Structure 1
C-alpha cells in the first residue's frame, strides 16, 4: 500500500491531479462562453447553458457504468481509454459550427470525461493506506478546482480573442499534453482484484450503498451542494455580462479564479478532518457556502467576487470531506459507491439550473440567492444528521466492545 509522503504517493497523486485538471478543464470550458453562445446562436440563457448541462448530465450517468466496469477490467486501462476519447471530442468540437452538433459532441465528451472521476478515488482506495487516501483525495479535488479554473480561463480569453471554436482547439493541445504526463507518472495498480461484471450484483451493490444512511446522507450533501454552487456561477455570468457591469467573456473567465479558494479548502480538508469529525467539517463548509452566497447580495462587483471566494472555499471543503467519507465508509464495491456519489454530484449540476431559472426570471439575482439558501439549509441538516448517526453508531460499538 502507498503511504502518504512517499515518492510513489507523489507520482500517483500528481498523475491523478493532472488527469483531473484535463477532465474538468474540458468540462467547464463553455462556462464563461454562455452569454457569447446565447448571442451567436440567438438562444435563451437556459438553452445556452445546455452546452455545459448536457456534458455534466452524460458524465453523471456514465459514472454508473465506468465504476463497476473498472472493478472487472482494471482502473488504469479505463482511465487511459476514456481520456483519449475526451481529447478526440475536443478536436471535433473545434471543427463544428452548428449548436445542435455542439450539444451532440459535448454529450459524447461527457461520457468520455466520466472515466477518470468514476475510477480515480477507487484507485486510491485500492492502492493507498487510509491516511494516504484522505491526504490524496484532498489534493486530487484541488486538481478538480484548478481544472475548472483553467478551462474557464481558456474558454473566456481564447473565446473572446479568437472565437469559441479556437478555444476548443487550444484545449485539444493542452489535453493531449496532460494525457502524456498522466501515462508517464501513474504507477501501475498492484492491489487491484478483478471482479466479474454481473448486472444483478451491480444493482445489489448500488442498493446496499443507497440503503446505508451513512452513505446516502453524504450523497445528498454532495449532490445538492453542487446543485446550487455550480449553477450560481452560470447565472452570475449573465448577471455580470449585463448592466451595470458589462463584463466581456475574458473578464468573466476571471470570475472563476475564485475557485482558487476552493483549491485551498480541498487541500486542507484532510488536515482539518484529523481533529474534527468529517460530518462536522461538511457542516462547516456548508455554513461558509451560505455566508458567501449572502455576501453577493451587496451588489458591488467586489462584493460578488468576495462572496464567490468564500463560497468556493466552503463548497470544496464540504465536497472533499463527503467524497473521502464515501470511499472509506463503503466496505465493498468502492468504485460503485464513489460512482453513486458522483452521480448525485453531477445530476445535481445538471438539474440545478432548472430549479434556479424561475427564481432568476422572477426576482433576478436576489431570487437566485433565496433559492440557494433553501437548498443549502437541507444539506446543512443532512450533514448534522450524519454526525448524529455516526456518533450513535460509535457509542453502540463502544458499548458492545
Structure 2
C-alpha cells in the first residue's frame, strides 16, 4: 500500500538516509589467498640467491688466503667489498624502484649479479676478486629494499611480519646452502669451481623468481627528483624510532658478519683441525635462522617488539660466550644461539621499518639495509682484525660490544615509549 493511501508523509521516505557504503574489500595478498604462495616462494628464492652470492667467498677465505698469499684481514675484503657495495647502492636502487617498480628493479639486479657471479671464478688476483665482488654487491642492492617495499604494498598488514620473515628465511637458506656447497666443492676442486657452482645456482633462482612473482597491483610510481629523494630520506632519519631500528640492524649484523667471517679460520686451525668440507657443513646451523626468522611474528605477538629484541640480544650473548670453549660441541651450540638471535632480531627490525614508514617505504627500507650491510662490512673487517690481534676471544669481544649497543638502544626506546605514553595516547610505538 502506498504512502498516499495510508496518509503517511512521503517526505520521510524521500529523505531517509541512504545505506552506508560497504568498505572496499582489501585486495592485498594474505595467507591462503590467491598469489600469496607464489609471491612467498618467489621472494624466498630471491633471498636464497642474494645471500648465496653475497657471501659466496666467506667460507672459502682460508683457501683464498692460501692461493693469493694474503692474511685473513686482507681476504676478508672479498666479503666486505660485496656488503659495502650493497650498502652504498641500496638507496639509489630504492629510488629507481620507486620510479620503475619493485619487480623491475629486483629482476634487473639479479640479472647483473648472477652475470658477475659467473665471472668471479676467473679473477686473476686478490685485487680483481675484491673489485668483482664490489660490483656484485652493488648489483644486489636492488633486492633487499625493493623486496620489503613490495611486501609492504602487496601484503595485508597483519601478515607483513610473517611475509618478511619468509624472505629473511630465504636469506638464511641461501647463506647456509652457499657455504655448504662451496665448502665441499672447494675441498675437491678448489674455491674457483665452488663460487662458479654458486653462480649457476643463482641463475636458476633468478629465472624462477621472475616467472613466479605476481605483478604488483598496489604500486604507485614516485619521483626521481633529487629534492624529493633527499626530503624523504631526511624525514626518515628525523624519526627516532627508525633511527633506533637502523642502529639495531647494523649492530646485530656486526656480530653476525664478524663471527661467520672468522669461524672458518678458527675451525680449520688447531685444536679443531676440520677439513674445508666439514667447515662448510657447520653452516647447517643457518636452518635455525630460517626457523627463528619465520616465527618472528609470533614472538612479537607474545613479547612485543622490544621484548623480542631483548630476547634476541640475550640469545646472541649466550652464543658468543659458549663459542669461547675449545671443544667443538659448545662452539656449535654457540653458533646455533648466535644465528637464532641474529635472524629473529633482523626480521623484527626489518618488518618494523616497513610498518613505521608512512611514505617512501623503499627509501626507509633502503636506509635499514644500508645500515645493516655497513654493519656486515664493519663486522667482517673489524672481526678479522680482532682475530688477527687476539684470536677468537677478540672477535667475541667485538660481538659482545655490538650486543651491548642493541640492548642500550632498546632500553632507550622503552624509556621513550613510557615518556610518550604519559603525554599522549599509547601508540604502536
> Normalization by structure 2: what TM-score?
0.90
**Contact 2:73–2:385, Cα closer than 8 Å, also in 1:** no
Aligned equivalents of 2:29 and 2:423: distance in 1?
A: 32
Aligned 1:312-391 pairs, distance under 5 A: 312-391=339-418
Aligned 1:85-164 pairs, distance under 5 A: 85-164=112-191
Cα deviations by residue, 1:295-346 (Å, 9 ceiling, x for unpaired): 1122201111110001110111111100000000111101000000010000
Aligned 1:171-190 pairs, distance under 5 A: 171-190=198-217
Count of matched residue pairs: 400
91 and 219 in structure 1: CA distance in 2 versus 1, 3 angstrom threshold? same
**Contact 1:60–1:343, Cα closer than 8 Å, also in 2:** yes
**Contact 2:258–2:399, Cα closer than 8 Å, also in 1:** no
333 and 138 in structure 1: CA distance in 2 versus 1, 3 angstrom threshold? same
Worse-matched range after superposition: 389-398 or 366-375: 389-398
- Counterpart in the other structure of 1:282: 309
**Contact 1:38–1:48, Cα closer than 8 Å, also in 2:** yes
Determine which of 248, 254, 258 is the counterpart of 2:275: 248
Q: 2:118 aligns to what SS in structure 1?
A: helix
Aligned 1:3-14 pairs, distance under 5 A: 3-14=30-41
Determine which of 166, 170, 178 is the counterpart of 2:193: 166
- Counterpart in the other structure of 1:36: 63
Aligned equivalents of 2:32 and 2:329: distance in 1?
A: 39
Cα deviations by residue, 1:29-57 (Å, 9 ceiling, x for unpaired): 11110000001100010111111110010
Aligned equivalents of 1:30 and 1:53: distance in 2?
A: 10
Q: Which runs of 5+ in 2 are unaligned?
A: 1-27
Aligned equivalents of 1:140 and 1:278: distance in 2?
A: 19
- Counterpart in the other structure of 1:304: 331
Q: Which runs of 5+ in 1 are unaligned?
A: none
95 and 368 in structure 1: CA distance in 2 versus 1, 3 angstrom threshold? closer
398 and 277 in structure 1: CA distance in 2 versus 1, 3 angstrom threshold? same
How far residue 394 of structure 1 moved from its aligned partner, in angstroms, is: 4.8
How far residue 166 of structure 1 moved from its aligned partner, in angstroms, is: 1.1
- Counterpart in the other structure of 1:262: 289
How far residue 26 of structure 1 moved from its aligned partner, in angstroms, is: 0.8
**Contact 2:86–2:140, Cα closer than 8 Å, also in 1:** yes
Cα deviations by residue, 1:198-248 (Å, 9 ceiling, x for unpaired): 112211211211121111011111101111222112122111111121222
How far residue 116 of structure 1 moved from its aligned partner, in angstroms, is: 1.1
Worse-matched range after superposition: 276-285 or 359-368: 359-368
- Counterpart in the other structure of 1:218: 245
Q: 1:398 aligns to what SS in structure 2?
A: coil
Aligned 1:188-199 pairs, distance under 5 A: 188-199=215-226
Aligned equivalents of 1:351 and 1:367: distance in 2?
A: 14
**Contact 2:161–2:347, Cα closer than 8 Å, also in 1:** no
How far residue 391 of structure 1 moved from its aligned partner, in angstroms, is: 4.3
Worse-matched range after superposition: 177-186 or 358-367: 358-367
Cα deviations by residue, 1:151-174 (Å, 9 ceiling, x for unpaired): 111221111111222112212221
Aligned equivalents of 1:154 and 1:391: distance in 2?
A: 48
- Counterpart in the other structure of 1:46: 73
Aligned equivalents of 1:329 and 1:145: distance in 2?
A: 24
- Counterpart in the other structure of 2:29: 2
Aligned equivalents of 1:87 and 1:231: distance in 2?
A: 25
How far residue 58 of structure 1 moved from its aligned partner, in angstroms, is: 0.1
396 and 187 in structure 1: CA distance in 2 versus 1, 3 angstrom threshold? farther
Aligned equivalents of 1:46 and 1:352: distance in 2?
A: 11
More helix by share: 1
- Counterpart in the other structure of 2:46: 19
Aligned equivalents of 2:200 and 2:395: distance in 1?
A: 37
Worse-matched range after superposition: 249-258 or 36-45: 249-258
Worse-matched range after superposition: 363-372 or 110-119: 363-372
222 and 353 in structure 1: CA distance in 2 versus 1, 3 angstrom threshold? same
Aligned equivalents of 1:359 and 1:176: distance in 2?
A: 36
Aligned equivalents of 1:70 and 1:14: distance in 2?
A: 21
